[in-house]
Structure 1
């Protein structure tokens, strides 16, 4: 098959210089599907990229004006990218086109109409009626785009979780929705454990990720564990507010904001070196980083939201009541104080991680895409 991917961002090399979950999904799926298929990726033109490049068997076309990574705002640049991706994509020879996030779904749809091929949306989460709550007033544009997309006659939506698939049924025909979990796979990570007991967290610093709950939990825990450390990887608009929270609570010696870590392997090393991983988010489509923690055999504490519980199989960690920093601190303490529980969570987590290997997931996607192309061609 000749498969086109439209993803707002994509790594520049196999070193996985990736910023977010949608980009991780796009890269992993492109990598495994490229073994037996022709994969062409349309993505943003970032610093250090060529307009036309190759990563293994993946052809990467950088579209639009040179732009920096952003997860919020920048509407003019994002609209410009959407148009540029369409202008490049409409000239390609493809059998099927796949969009990977809200910025790319519309471009993929428009390309599919021009080329008369099926369009697939790889769907991470449904935010209808929640856009403004999650990202602020400018979320109205996301609300409009998502409602527009789900009113289109897409050939298929592939949700990353059963939770997302169920939510989609309120807005899109059930018979054209499938669930295929994300690929989460990496080579064994070699890194020493930190000298101090350390909690790691990998998250964009945005409101719905609830990093402030982890700060408040740390404020509780350091009274009993004064040497406890926390490393938070990620950037975002909440960074200054979080820095202020850390300073006001005299936690500068306990909490380190690591910012953006360019190489994915270095992110994994931080997780692997820590004692516990934490994901306090109240909004997730799947929770790739939780599965990465399972693969590193690092027990986690995460908010009790359905997508994360589904991704983990409720194994390898403990869940706290979302937005409850006291409960978060309690669950972290439970793991810190119970060695038998700690070992149990490590062992069952590794077993759950093995379910997300690339070849297994890619074969599911490949079969779905073949069936979608055949069905589309019959109905032309």
Structure 2
């Protein structure tokens, strides 16, 4: 098949310059699908990209004005990207299927599907209806409208990354057109030595719903029992200065290190691999792919108890705490940091759980679904 993938952001090399879970999902699935199909990716004109390039057999076409990564705002540039991506997509030759990967790209993919009379698939990570404004601010009005409008269209298939997301879609979309397919986890092969001091790793965008402040407050409590505790936070975002100020206010400058944006995914995973425990304090996730990556590296986790992460982990390899309860978060982290027997148990069971997300299994499943969709469309 000839498949067009529309994703707002995409790496510019196999080093997988990481930005977010959606981008990792789009990249991994593009790589696996390219084993069976011809893949064309329409994405933003990243400042590091040329306008048109290849990653192995994947043809990447950059659309819109050159711009950096952003998760909120930048409305005019995002609209320009959408317009340009549609204009490019509608002129692609012999495309059999188009897939959108986030709220910005769903409308683009849908219009391309209408123009070329081909099936459209939406890879769905989370349902934000009713949460847009609280999570994203005033710009969330645009997202709320777009998501509600899109789910009213004649979409051939929605593929949520979890049953949790599927259940949240049911009030807005027919169940017979929804199939859960978990994310591919392209397990990193990294070599790194353990840190010489007890260390917590966190990989998260520095935005409100990731609740990184809860981790900082938990470290403040942990420090009383483990004075040399270290916490390495990877990620950037609008709350960066606020979180750094909180760190200074609590006098944790020697304990908490902000690593910012780490370009290579391998380097991100080295930090996770070298740490004693991984923490995901987020209260909003579509799947929690970084949890599975941590399990594959035999790094136990502590996470806020939200359905997508519970589903992804199968409650194996880590401990859960009540969302936003930083005192309980500190207790869970201390358990893993101070109990060697528990740590070893979580290492083993977590690693076994991670095997459920191999790229070969998920890639073959996606390819079968897409081929069947193409056949069904022709019959109709």
Q: Smaller-chain TM-score range?
A: over 0.9
Match of 2:170 in 1: 169
- Secondary structure of the structure 2 residue equivalent to 1:129: coil
Match of 1:22 in 2: 22
Match of 1:73 in 2: 73
Aligned counterparts of 2:206 and 2:70: Cα–Cα separation in 1? 12
Deviations 1:295-320 (A, max 9, x none): 11000000000000001111000000
CA contact under 8 A between 2:127 and 2:165: conserved in structure 1? yes
Residue 121 (structure 2) pairs with residue 120 (structure 1):
yes
5+ residue gaps, structure 1, are none
- Secondary structure of the structure 2 residue equivalent to 1:179: coil
Deviation of the 1:47 alpha carbon: 1.7
Aligned counterparts of 2:18 and 2:268: Cα–Cα separation in 1? 10
Match of 1:57 in 2: 57
Deviation of the 1:188 alpha carbon: 2.1
Residues paired across the two proteins, number? 379
Aligned counterparts of 1:376 and 1:98: Cα–Cα separation in 2? 15
Aligned counterparts of 1:72 and 1:255: Cα–Cα separation in 2? 26
Deviations 1:271-302 (A, max 9, x none): 00100000000000000100010011000000
CA contact under 8 A between 2:36 and 2:367: conserved in structure 1? no
CA contact under 8 A between 2:294 and 2:300: conserved in structure 1? yes
Aligned counterparts of 1:155 and 1:262: Cα–Cα separation in 2? 36
Residue 83 (structure 2) pairs with residue 83 (structure 1):
yes
Match of 1:244 in 2: 245
Aligned counterparts of 2:59 and 2:354: Cα–Cα separation in 1? 29
Aligned counterparts of 2:187 and 2:52: Cα–Cα separation in 1? 27
After superposition, the CA RMSD in angstroms is 0.7
Decide which moves more: 34-43 or 47-56: 47-56
Match of 1:45 in 2: 45
Aligned counterparts of 1:140 and 1:2: Cα–Cα separation in 2? 35
Match of 1:314 in 2: 315
Residue 232 (structure 2) pairs with residue 231 (structure 1):
yes
Match of 1:371 in 2: 372
Deviations 1:88-125 (A, max 9, x none): 00011210000000110110001000000011000000
- Secondary structure of the structure 2 residue equivalent to 1:61: strand
- Structure-1-length-normalised TM-score: 0.99
> Counterparts in 2 of 1:151-170, with a 5 A limit?
151-170=152-171
Match of 1:35 in 2: 35
Deviation of the 1:76 alpha carbon: 0.5
Match of 2:334 in 1: 333
- Secondary structure of the structure 1 residue equivalent to 2:62: strand
Match of 1:289 in 2: 290
Deviation of the 1:186 alpha carbon: 2.6
Aligned counterparts of 2:16 and 2:271: Cα–Cα separation in 1? 15
CA contact under 8 A between 2:301 and 2:318: conserved in structure 1? yes
Match of 2:266 in 1: 265
Aligned counterparts of 1:53 and 1:351: Cα–Cα separation in 2? 37
Match of 2:346 in 1: 345
Deviation of the 1:185 alpha carbon: 1.8
- Secondary structure of the structure 2 residue equivalent to 1:243: helix
- Secondary structure of the structure 2 residue equivalent to 1:272: helix
- Structure-2-length-normalised TM-score: 0.99
Aligned counterparts of 2:7 and 2:269: Cα–Cα separation in 1? 23
Aligned counterparts of 2:278 and 2:300: Cα–Cα separation in 1? 6
Decide which moves more: 181-190 or 94-103: 181-190
Deviation of the 1:18 alpha carbon: 2.0
Aligned counterparts of 1:10 and 1:366: Cα–Cα separation in 2? 20
Deviation of the 1:132 alpha carbon: 1.0
